[in-house]
Amino acid sequence: MARPRDLDTVEGRKRYEEKYQRILNAAMHVFAQKGFSESKITEVASAAGVGDGTIYLYFKNKDDLLISLFEAKLEEINAGLRIALADIPGVEDRLRKIIDFHLGLALNNPQLAALVTIELRRSAKFMKEYAKEQLTEYLDQWGDILEEGKRTGRFRPDFSTNILKHILFGAMDHVCGIWVSNPNRETVDLVEIGGQLTDVILRAISAES
Amino acid sequence: MARPRDLDTVEGRKRYEEKYQRILNAAMHVFAQKGFSESKITEVASAAGVGDGTIYLYFKNKDDLLISLFEAKLEEINAGLRIALADIPGVEDRLRKIIDFHLGLALNNPQLAALVTIELRRSAKFMKEYAKEQLTEYLDQWGDILEEGKRTGRFRPDFSTNILKHILFGAMDHVCGIWVSNPNRETVDLVEIGGQLTDVILRAISAES
Amino acid sequence: MARPRDLDTVEGRKRYEEKYQRILNAAMHVFAQKGFSESKITEVASAAGVGDGTIYLYFKNKDDLLISLFEAKLEEINAGLRIALADIPGVEDRLRKIIDFHLGLALNNPQLAALVTIELRRSAKFMKEYAKEQLTEYLDQWGDILEEGKRTGRFRPDFSTNILKHILFGAMDHVCGIWVSNPNRETVDLVEIGGQLTDVILRAISAES
Amino acid sequence: MARPRDLDTVEGRKRYEEKYQRILNAAMHVFAQKGFSESKITEVASAAGVGDGTIYLYFKNKDDLLISLFEAKLEEINAGLRIALADIPGVEDRLRKIIDFHLGLALNNPQLAALVTIELRRSAKFMKEYAKEQLTEYLDQWGDILEEGKRTGRFRPDFSTNILKHILFGAMDHVCGIWVSNPNRETVDLVEIGGQLTDVILRAISAES
DNA sequence: TATGAATGAGAATTCATTCAT
DNA sequence: TATGAATGAATTCTCATTCAT
């Protein structure tokens, strides 16, 4: 692999970035479609409109392509969530928002959602070395809300933030996974699901009961 | 593949069954360890203490081995759950039991839990064609309890059984997945998690709040 | 391979011979159907109604099965031809007879004819080491007639017996091969072919022209 | 198999064609030597001086290699025969030429002759689906001469063109086959054989006898 | 003798990766 | 930089042969 060398010119960096993203997007589509190990580099290359060899100018190998894909997308998602939550005051509303945001991810990019739910788990290696950091940050944003709710007395103090954030995430992840892998996706109502989940969780943790 | 022909003698059927299970168990260990597509038939064979070719006397191909593994184990699990719930009267206790049962699966056979959480999702093909039936039955046992709780007035009537069973299952599945893939497994307390989850869910759906 | 040991009892020899022939016939059918290298020992065994291993009590290996098949059948054919020609006086009639006999082979046992035309050539090894002797004897019976015709003045003296017998055999062999491999065998008239060939050859070599 | 994509540049097409022929020739040698089913792809690859995988860039699989080999060579032969007969006026001379041509094929390329005589018959599949067309065209060129001889009154009208062309071809094919598979090839005189065959056939079908 | 389950050497084929252009 | 033809290691699966029963 030889990373392009004219990265110091603005021109060059832009061209580099553009193709890098193009490959990443192609990989996302192909991997989501057939699964990582059934996907061929050639398929990704032709989906990206580049030569097979070009992939190796931008990524170390096939594994690195998957890793980079997760890194980039998860980072994007984390940033997105941070922005989405930025100006929402109440913890209940923040919780509502975070649930909507997660469901929105699946709605807007089922390809990526499918990849994350299915392939991210595939390899403990990826899980541990690369994606974990980003995933942890994502989960922490959930945890922060729960923590804040406890602190402000809006949420009951007697549950483990750490455990509950996983419970919440797992519930959403599974529900999205079902939706994503469902061929007649239209008939299932993600919004309804979001409402139910919000109700359940608020009823369970609200202090005023 | 030439299924052995002396299945009509009791002797023969026993020997067949014994080796079939031996291979299935070996597959479970190997697949759980390295993931399906990273596992080699040779590895499964030598783990089972048989020749490579022998695998093909019992299974059509590598895919069939995975499918058969899921079919057999999920069936076993469903039967186990049915028995476990058989003589428990109250819905709250039944719910408690079902959560314990699921966590117990992970505790008693992390190998299998890892396989189910990770590899079962791998291929929509498997998901849809083979395992779905068994998975549906498993989820239905969850749904039945929720339904019964509503009917008997113990649970609130205003939640969707169908959605909640997925939420519940997803939460547990994720939490088990985390635990299973966690190298320092000992330090995380699955029982504590089970307790928290039960509390949360009962608080959310109990009618008397 | 352990040739049966009770071959000294009449009883035993008969049983041995019977099964030997049974396997040989099964092999003929199977080999003729799918070709030698596409045929599996299991197929021959089940066609013969014996176990796979039993084949190896009667034949050294798969190659030996083919060799033995050719040896047995060609020997049978040679003997048959010798008898057929035994009491025919004139060389013209003998030539006519030999042509009829060859075509009759194809007519009566297309399976074998297909095998001989196709598989006998396959391996120079078989050709040279085993079948050649029998084939040579067969061809010699053709040569003998031509020789005798020359000697008695019925046939022209100016052709090479050795070459002509090959030409004759080749012509017949090919024509039979076409017929054998022809799916709508019925519509082609082997008898007509025999007549034409006889006419041509007699016109070419008769002395009285 | 991924057929090279730069076939639109003259450069590329030439390089492709060159390697395609190189592999085809290597296959001819190897297949002729050991027979198709005894030949390994690795052997063909190393005989062609390419990697194993390269074969699969040019041919779909091992069978396709054999089929393509026959298609290419038979086409070449048909074209050659057409040219050879182009400017020969008399039917007797044309018949002589066609016999010489066929024997010349064996003389000049015993490898190919061996393949055609032995392996082309191997599989009825190949025979019927692929090679038949080319073989038919070849035989038709024989038939055309016989037909023309009848029409012009040079040949007797009382034989079946259709049958005789097969008789002729069979005779030559067999004789070539013997020669090809004969280790001490030098001692047998193909030219002498050609002369004898021509004499016999002309004596048999000429009208002026 | 007869069996057929077990074996494992062997072969075709795939595909990530390289590298000459 | 970009390409895609070439590679060959690696893997699945087959099937002739063996051997315990």
Residue B61 CA to nucleotide F12 C1', Å?
A: 9
pTM of the model: 0.89
Q: Which residue is nearest to nucleotide F10 (CA to C1')?
A: B40
Q: Is the pLDDT of residue B110 over 90?
A: no
For a pLDDT cut of 70, what percent of chain B falls above it?
89
Q: What is the DSSP-derived secondary structure letter of residue C138?
A: H
- Using one digit for the tens of pLDDT, what is the confidence trace for B42-83? 999 999 999 999 999 999 999 999 989 998 998 999 999 999
**Predicted local distance difference test score (pLDDT) of residue C5:** 54
Contacts of D193 in chain C (CB under 8 A): 163
Q: Is the pLDDT of residue C110 over 90?
A: no
A132's tokens:
């974990």
Question: What is the enclosing helix (H) or strand (E) of A174?
Answer: helix A161-181
On average, the pLDDT of chain C sits at 87
Among C37, C170, C192, the residue with its CB nearest the CB of D37 is C37
For residues C2 and D149, the model is more confident at D149
- Mark C77-116 as b/e (b = at least 16 C-beta within 10 Å): bbeebeebbeeeeebbebbbbbbbbbbbbbbebbbbbbbb
**Predicted local distance difference test score (pLDDT) of residue A2:** 46
DSSP-based three-state secondary structure for A65 = helix
Q: How confident is the model at residue B6 (pLDDT cuts 50, 70, 90)?
A: low
**Predicted local distance difference test score (pLDDT) of residue A5:** 54
Contacts of A121 in chain B (CB under 8 A): 117-118, 121, 177, 181
Q: Is the CB of A192 less than 8 angstroms away from the CB of B160?
A: yes
Q: How confident is the model at residue D123 (pLDDT cuts 50, 70, 90)?
A: low
Q: How confident is the model at residue D100 (pLDDT cuts 50, 70, 90)?
A: very high
| Shortest Cα–Cα distance, A128 to chain B (Å) | 9
Q: How confident is the model at residue C124 (pLDDT cuts 50, 70, 90)?
A: low
User: Which distant-in-sequence residues (6+ apart) come within 8 Å of A145 by Cβ?
Assistant: A85, A91, A94, A95, A98
Can you name the residues that pair with D155 across neighbouring β-strands? D206
3-state helix vs strand vs coil in chain A, percent to 5 = 80, 0, 20
Q: Which residue has the tokens 């039979």?
A: C176
The answer to whether B and D touch (≥3 CB pairs < 8 Å) is: no
Can you name the residues that pair with A206 across neighbouring β-strands? A155
The answer to whether B and A touch (≥3 CB pairs < 8 Å) is: yes
Virtual CA dihedral for A51, A56, A59, A60, nearest 10 degrees?
A: 160
D200's tokens:
């016999």
Q: Is the pLDDT of residue D20 over 50?
A: yes
**Predicted local distance difference test score (pLDDT) of residue C1:** 45
Q: How confident is the model at residue D2 (pLDDT cuts 50, 70, 90)?
A: very low
Q: Are D143 and D150 in contact (CB under 8 A)?
A: no
Q: How confident is the model at residue D156 (pLDDT cuts 50, 70, 90)?
A: very high
The residue count of chain B comes to: 209
On average, the pLDDT of chain D sits at 87
Among C122, C167, C178, the residue with its CB nearest the CB of D166 is C178
Residue C175's closest CA among C161, C160, C188?
Answer: C188
Q: What is the mean pLDDT of each run of 10 residues along chain A (209 residues)?
A: 60 88 96 91 98 97 92 91 93 94 90 81 64 86 95 94 92 86 72 90 85
Q: How confident is the model at residue D133 (pLDDT cuts 50, 70, 90)?
A: confident
Q: Which residue has the tokens 């939640």?
A: B159
Chains C, D: CB pairs < 8 Å: 108
Least trusted range by pLDDT, from B15-19, C117-121, C194-198 = C117-121
Least trusted range by pLDDT, from C42-51, D123-132, D172-181 = D123-132
- Using one digit for the tens of pLDDT, what is the confidence trace for B160-200? 999 999 999 999 988 888 887 776 776 678 888 899 999 99
- Using one digit for the tens of pLDDT, what is the confidence trace for A25-64? 999 999 988 889 999 999 999 999 999 999 999 999 999 9
Count Cα neighbours of B3 within 13 Å in the Cβ-side half-sphere: 7
- Using one digit for the tens of pLDDT, what is the confidence trace for C40-91? 999 999 999 999 999 999 999 999 999 899 889 889 999 999 999 999 999 9
Q: Is the pLDDT of residue D6 over 60?
A: no
Q: Is the pLDDT of residue D209 over 70?
A: no
Q: Are D94 and D88 in contact (CB under 8 A)?
A: yes
Neighbours of chain D (3+ CB pairs under 8 A): C
The rounded distance, in Å, linking the Cα atoms of B68 and B148 is: 33
Region C149-157: mean pLDDT is: 95
Phi, psi angles (nearest 5°) of residue C61: -165, -175
Q: Is the CB of D121 less than 8 angstroms away from the CB of C123?
A: no
Among left, alpha and beta (phi > 0; psi -120 to 50; other), residue D60 is alpha
- Determine the Cα angle at A49 with ends A48 and A50, to 5°: 95
DSSP-based three-state secondary structure for A87 = coil
Q: How confident is the model at residue D55 (pLDDT cuts 50, 70, 90)?
A: very high
The rounded distance, in Å, linking the Cα atoms of C189 and C172 is: 14
User: Which distant-in-sequence residues (6+ apart) come within 8 Å of A39 by Cβ?
Assistant: A27, A30, A31, A33
For residues D131 and C164, the model is more confident at C164
Residue A147's closest CA among A157, A138, A134, A137?
Answer: A157
Question: What is the enclosing helix (H) or strand (E) of D142?
Answer: helix D132-151
Q: Which residue is nearest to nucleotide F15 (CA to C1')?
A: C40
Chain A residues contacting B via beta carbons under 8 Å: 35, 37, 117-119, 121-124, 127, 159-160, 163-164, 166-175, 177-178, 181, 192-193, 196-197, 199-201, 203-205, 209
Residue D74 CA to nucleotide F14 C1', Å?
A: 33
Q: How confident is the model at residue B124 (pLDDT cuts 50, 70, 90)?
A: low
